[in-house]
Structure 1
Amino acid sequence: MTTAHRRSEQARQAIMRAALEICREQGYARLTMEGVAAKAGVGKQTIYRWWPSKGTVVLDAFLEELGPAIEVPPTTDELADLRLSLRRAAELLSHPRYGSMLADLVGALQHDEALAAEFHKRVYQPVRQQTVERIERARLSGAIGNVDTGLAADLLFGPLWFRTLLTRQPPTPDYADQIVDIALAGLCAATS
């Protein structure tokens, strides 16, 4: 690794750390590129070289810090995997350091096209695809009825987002378990 590349990577890491620290200390709404640049000790143009918006900086930092914690490697028990996926999502959304930051990021999607595209590609689509595949395997194994797998995925994760974004109540792992129990009761009974 060249010295320039090493310095560049150090600056990138400093920017992401600064963005997360500002979000934790002041909230996403008060985060500015100027503030991140000052805290990271870089010029604003350095930030814009890698990220088009403050939301994309925070998303990168968030995924770098928490990406592995979000993933649920598949096992042979798709229903247990679905339960664990929802519990992990609930834990993240109710986490004192990250829950409100993630809710703010999702809110910012409405006004930041670059963030919306990145969030969809790097968070929403992979999680939804994994969920759809698990539901399909459960359907094929006979563990649940013949259901629209995309709709079932929405039914599982929708209440977590509803609670987080509209009621501003953190969804607990117990709440996630209740969602899975109720959804699975309906999915297992589905015949068409």
Structure 2
Amino acid sequence: MHRGNRHGRSEAAREAVLEAADNLVAEVGFARVTIEGIAARAGVAKQTIYRWWRSKTDILVDAFVADADQELTEHDTGDLATDLRAHLGELARFLTESDSGAVFRALVGEAQHDPGLAARLRAEILPGLRARDRRPFERAQARGELPDDADLDAMVDRAVGPIHYRVLVTGEPLTSAMLDFLAGQRGQRAEASGSAGSAPDGVS
């Protein structure tokens, strides 16, 4: 019983640290976040943090992975366009409106001049995101909505690439019209058949 209580307290402290790190990055930016600040916000001792993590970057990587697991859900309606539109809308909100999105942008920015962090992103964060992005297409392929030889990786790039481009590069808004186009069956079928899809009209 006492072991369970200690475990429960440890897990609560760990979750408090992850949430504090998320919040602080969104509020003050990556450069101004410190272990001391995270500890104060979470209400734990610095020594507690250092038992689990070596740096604020380690905390933020774990925070993002945990948030993605919790906030990015599965959508399976039996229709690719519907599933993909739901997924893209959720992904867009996650990356632009949540504290997790601020963490993602901060980590990607830091990775541009930190090869070690870049390697961790590719090993620990991007595979999970990529797997979620592929699932609508994999389910569609399994039920025969897409051909067996469809290039799913190209379809994923086509659907989510513009979202990441706007989130990380241009800062332009992710409009409903844009997400509707990216999820449209017309574009996905064109990709599956190997023909070029037409460009969206009036998407901003």
Three-state SS of the structure 1 residue aligned to 2:37 is helix
Most deviating of 63-72 and 149-158: 63-72
Cα gap change, 1:155/1:53 in structure 2, threshold over 3 Å: closer, same or farther? farther
The one-character-per-residue Cα deviations of 1:58-106 (angstroms, maximum 9, x if unpaired) are 3433454563331223332233212211111112222164433332233
Query: Where do 1:12-23 residues align within 5 Å?
Result: 12-23=14-25
The structural deviation recorded for 1:115 is: 7.6
Cα gap change, 1:163/1:10 in structure 2, threshold over 3 Å: closer, same or farther? same
Three-state SS of the structure 2 residue aligned to 1:94 is helix
Which of 75, 82, 89 aligns to 1:80? It is 82
1:40 corresponding residue in structure 2: 42
The structural deviation recorded for 1:158 is: 1.0
2:166 corresponding residue in structure 1: 163
Cα gap change, 1:65/1:166 in structure 2, threshold over 3 Å: closer, same or farther? closer
Q: Give the Cα–Cα distance (whole angstroms) in 1 for the partners of residues 95 and 81 of structure 2.
A: 21
Cα gap change, 1:79/1:126 in structure 2, threshold over 3 Å: closer, same or farther? farther
In the superposition, the TM-score normalised over structure 1's length comes to 0.77
Contact 1:94-1:172 at 8 Å conserved across structures? no
Contact 1:90-1:170 at 8 Å conserved across structures? no
Three-state SS of the structure 1 residue aligned to 2:97 is coil
1:172 corresponding residue in structure 2: 175
Cα gap change, 1:124/1:68 in structure 2, threshold over 3 Å: closer, same or farther? same
Cα gap change, 1:31/1:170 in structure 2, threshold over 3 Å: closer, same or farther? farther
**Which structure 2 residue ranges, 5 or more long, are not aligned?**
196-204
**Which structure 1 residue ranges, 5 or more long, are not aligned?**
none
What is the number of equivalent residue pairs in this alignment? Answer: 190
Contact 1:16-1:61 at 8 Å conserved across structures? yes
Query: Where do 1:14-163 residues align within 5 Å?
Result: 14-65=16-67, 67-95=69-97, 97-110=99-112, 111=114, 113=116, 116-117=119-120, 119-120=121-122, 123-139=125-141, 141=143, 143-144=145-146, 146-163=149-166
Contact 1:93-1:170 at 8 Å conserved across structures? no
Q: Percent identity?
A: 34
In the superposition, the TM-score normalised over structure 2's length comes to 0.74
Give the letter for the 2:70 counterpart.
P
Contact 2:159-2:183 at 8 Å conserved across structures? yes
The one-character-per-residue Cα deviations of 1:12-39 (angstroms, maximum 9, x if unpaired) are 2332232123123212231111211233
The structural deviation recorded for 1:124 is: 2.5
